[in-house]
Structure 1
Amino acid sequence: MKLQDFTIRNTRPEEVDEFIDILEEAAEWLHSNNIKQWPLGMFRNPASRASMLTGIANKQYFTIDYHHHPSGTGATATTVIAGLFVTNYDDSFDELLWKEYLTSQGKDWKDALYLHRLVLKTPFKGCGLTPKIVEFVEGKVQESGRHFLRLDCLADNERLRRFYRTKCRGVDGEGKEKGGLNELPTVWNPELGLEFARFELQVVPF
């Protein structure tokens, strides 16, 4: 699989149930590994589904497609969903995680695009898709006129934290490492009873 075989687009309303299935599969994997980030079934309740449909209508939900081009005469190209992610501008979860700290630093927590629910289906993990997604969201930050891309992860996931702060942006056109995001102090989320690590990247608007 090559990166050029993947494209990112807005999720369609009729895909909401497949979107939910992918998130629930991820929640089950987390649960089986004793990571209690997403309670099982949280995405299947009617309120969550309705919220997703609203987000899809607002073009906050994105689908990653994999286009398979088999070789051979008469072979038919196919497209499957490889993963998904969500972008937020002023979600209450982000306000809880970011507002107090950023206000103390003289920053506006709404001056950002927040990346959430980045989930790749198992066959597509390790394909180098995260840098492609981060670059895509950087472009969305520029389009919005905001100045920061921000994301979070569980604080006890040191492997993921290291990836985000060192090389999640991939390489540039000359093959040089672009590095990662700036890691900020962790924060405790009282609603979930979990500690989160926070990362941000300043993006120059168009």
Structure 2
Amino acid sequence: MKQTRNVAIKRAASDDLEAMLRLYKEAARWIYETKGLRQWSEDSFTTEYLENFIREKEVFVAYSQDELAGCFSLEWGYEPLWGEQFHTDAGYVHRLAVSRSFKGQGIGGQLLACSEAYIRDKGKAWMRLDCMAENPSLNAYYASQGLTLCGRYDAAEWSAHLYEKRLLGI
């Protein structure tokens, strides 16, 4: 039986930077070491990058007691990966990461549920996200969370699967 740990989710602030830096670097390293994918470059996560990220995006952090368990961002503007499928009636989840210390404890599902509620509260009908097409376990996870594969984006050196979940107007 899977153990579920509840987390407190809030908007990220400058005092979350150090923990976020560790989490994103850990995630980038783990993805590369276990999957062989350069989904995220560990070097791209700098203090300056995360300061801008928090200032320019709607970034959320999830804590279990005093430990950062996960984080994600929500975006509302143009998403080039979505091409002609892009529309403004959606919130786009990005940079979702869960600390390896919390693996299998339901944190990812709580982050997605928080995303859904926030997007719905903004009056948007869809939650959308993308992930590396070459990562079968992550693709299976998003499908298990009720997201539907609705497209693919192909770049020169990588591809992304596009997922969505209808939240309003069903």
4+ runs deviating over 4 angstroms: none
**Structure 1 residues 50 and 11, CA, compared in 2 at 3 Å: closer, same or farther?**
closer
Query: Is 1:157 aligned with 2:135?
Result: yes
- Deviation digits for residues 126-184 of structure 1 (CA, Å, limit 9, x no counterpart): 0112222221111111111111100111101122212212x21xxxxxxxxxxx11111
Aligned residue for 1:83?
70
Distance of aligned partners of 1:45 and 1:18 in 2 relative to their CA distance in 1, 3 Å threshold: closer
Identify unmatched segments of 5+ residues in structure 2.
Answer: none
In the TM superposition, residue 63 of structure 1 has moved relative to its aligned partner by: 0.9
- In structure 2, how many angstroms separate the alpha carbons of the residues matched to 1:135 and 1:50? 25
Q: Residues of 2 paired with 1:120 and 1:50: CA distance?
A: 19
Aligned counterpart in structure 2 of residue 184 of structure 1, from 129, 137, 150:
150
Return the index of the structure with the highest Cα Rg. Answer: 1
TM-fit CA distance, 1:12: 1.7
Letter in 1 for 2:133: A
- Matched length: 166
Residue of structure 2 equivalent to 1:44: 46
| Maintained 8 Å contact 2:17/2:51 | no
Q: Which residue of structure 1 aligns with residue 26 of structure 2?
A: 25
| Structure 1 residue ranges without an equivalent (≥5) | 68-78, 103-107, 169-179
User: 1 CA distance for matches of 2:4 and 2:38?
Assistant: 33
Structure 2: how far apart are the matches of 1:18 and 1:118?
14
Contact 1:97 1:189 in 2 (8 A): no
Q: For residues 7-29 of structure 1, what are the alpha-carbon distances to aligned partners after superposition, in whole Å with 9 as ceiling and x for unaligned?
A: 21111222223212211121122
Map 1:123-134 onto structure 2 (within 5 A).
123-134=101-112
Structure 2 CA distance for aligned equivalents of residues 51 and 145 of structure 1: 26
Q: What is the CA-CA distance between 1:45 and the residue it aligns to?
A: 6.5
Higher relative contact order (CA 8 A, sep 6+): 2
Amino acid of the residue matched to residue 151 of structure 2? P
Structure 1 distance, partners of 2:62, 2:47, is 24
The aligned residue for residue 64 of structure 2 is: 66
TM (normalized to structure 2)? 0.87
State the secondary structure of the residue aligned to 1:41.
Answer: helix
C-alpha distance in structure 2 between counterparts of 1:82 and 1:185, whole Å: 30
Please point out which of 58, 82, 87 is paired with 1:98. 82
2:117 maps to which residue? 139
CA RMSD between the two structures: 1.9
TM-score (norm 1): 0.73
What displacement does 1:97 show? 0.7
Percent identity reads: 23
Give the Cα–Cα distance (whole angstroms) in 1 for the partners of residues 162 and 132 of structure 2: 9
Aligned to 2:105, the other structure's residue is in SS state coil
